[in-house]
Amino acid sequence: MANPVNERARLLSNDPVGPRLYLMRLETPIIAKTTRPGQFVHLQIPAADAHILRRPFCVYARDAEAGTIDVLYQVVGEGTRLLAKATPAVVDATGGMSVLGPLGNSWAAVDEAQSGSGLHVLLVGGGVGAAPLYLLAEDLIDAGCAVDVVLGAQTEDALVTRERFAALLGREPACATDDGSYGRPGFCTTLSQEALDAGCSVDGAPFDRVCVCGPDPLMKIVAAQAHEAHVPCEVSTERRMACGIGACLSCVVETTDGLKRSCADGPIFDAEKVVW
């Protein structure tokens, strides 16, 4: 894993893309080159001095050549509300945005895919949790894996990663919406169970691995489905963080090996080890 750096990033865009959802593009040449799937950046909210803590976001997409990363985020509190108001002009005027990264570990599936070949991987993303799976899908496909994607969101207009996944896969990801406005009505856990039962859509082979990111209840259900199907499963955890680099012990995750740090030991964990 590359050493983390603190880059003064230019904000290139920061636009609403769905209900409470924003897509931000940052110019971070080093982080864009070194980020591995599943890793995150720790951002200082611009022009908001009273909000002293950074906010962690997984990297959605990276363009090493252009030196940019994309972050998809949801407004959930005061910090993200202020972040959504940030404009390129304001960030330029304050000398750039402090971005720490890349932080955290990566999916073991990537190493496994790169050392072997022909893995069948099922990716399950709930809500804004779909974003960190995009980079993973890219690397898995590059490594010759067959990748199926299941996405869940509350409504059709919250399925903001669907088109990117469709372009990458060359086919539509399986989608579910809580209100039935797009794809299967209800939770995407029905679709993940069906996928595990049916095998990979490319060749019908059983999946070798499941990777899931989303709310804890979703990850818990998919982890149980994968366990039942005897498929190794990894989950991407999200906790309140302060330092983001493993020092403060704020973001602990309870595991069968004791308390682990989401920021430094994770955010990716073997689902079998997480105590839900």
Considering the rule CB under 8 A, would residue 88 count as an interface residue with other proteins? no
Task: Give the shortest CB-51-to-other proteins separation in angstroms.
Answer: 6
Output phi, psi for 178, to 5 deg: -60, -40
Considering the rule CB under 8 A, would residue 171 count as an interface residue with other proteins? no
Considering the rule CB under 8 A, would residue 273 count as an interface residue with other proteins? no
Q: Which is nearer to other proteins, 17 or 247 (CB)?
A: 247
Contacts 24+ apart (CB under 8 A), 187-190: 187/152, 187/218, 188/124, 188/125, 188/126, 188/150, 188/151, 188/152, 188/218, 189/152, 189/218, 189/221, 189/222, 189/225
Query: 195: which DSSP letter?
Result: H
* Touching other proteins, residues 210-269 (CB under 8 A): 239-240, 242-252, 259, 264
Give me the DSSP letters along 53-116.
Answer: S-EEEE--EEETTTTEEEEEEE--SHHHHHHHH--HHHHHHTT-EEEEEEES---HHHHHHHHS
Considering the rule CB under 8 A, would residue 125 count as an interface residue with other proteins? no
Considering the rule CB under 8 A, would residue 33 count as an interface residue with other proteins? no
Q: Indicate the pairing of strand 233-236 with strand 268-270.
A: antiparallel
Binding-site member from 46, 67, 173, 183 for other proteins (CB under 8 A): 67
* Touching other proteins, residues 42-61 (CB under 8 A): 44, 49-54
**What distance in Å separates the CA atoms of residue 101 and residue 29, rounded to the nearest whole number?**
11
Task: Give the shortest CB-246-to-other proteins separation in angstroms.
Answer: 4
Considering the rule CB under 8 A, would residue 95 count as an interface residue with other proteins? yes
Task: Give the shortest CB-178-to-other proteins separation in angstroms.
Answer: 21
Considering the rule CB under 8 A, would residue 90 count as an interface residue with other proteins? no
**What distance in Å separates the CA atoms of residue 107 and residue 202, rounded to the nearest whole number?**
22
**What distance in Å separates the CA atoms of residue 142 and residue 267, rounded to the nearest whole number?**
23
Binding-site member from 96, 125, 266, 267 for other proteins (CB under 8 A): 96
Task: Give the shortest CB-265-to-other proteins separation in angstroms.
Answer: 12
Considering the rule CB under 8 A, would residue 5 count as an interface residue with other proteins? yes
Spatial neighbors of 50 by CB under 8 A, at least 6 apart, are: none
Q: Which is nearer to other proteins, 10 or 220 (CB)?
A: 10
Stretch that binds other proteins, among 13-21, 95-103, 107-115, 138-146 (CB under 8 A): 95-103
Binding site for other proteins (CB under 8 A): 3-8, 10, 27, 29-30, 44, 49-54, 67, 79, 92, 95-96, 98, 100, 239-240, 242-252, 259, 264
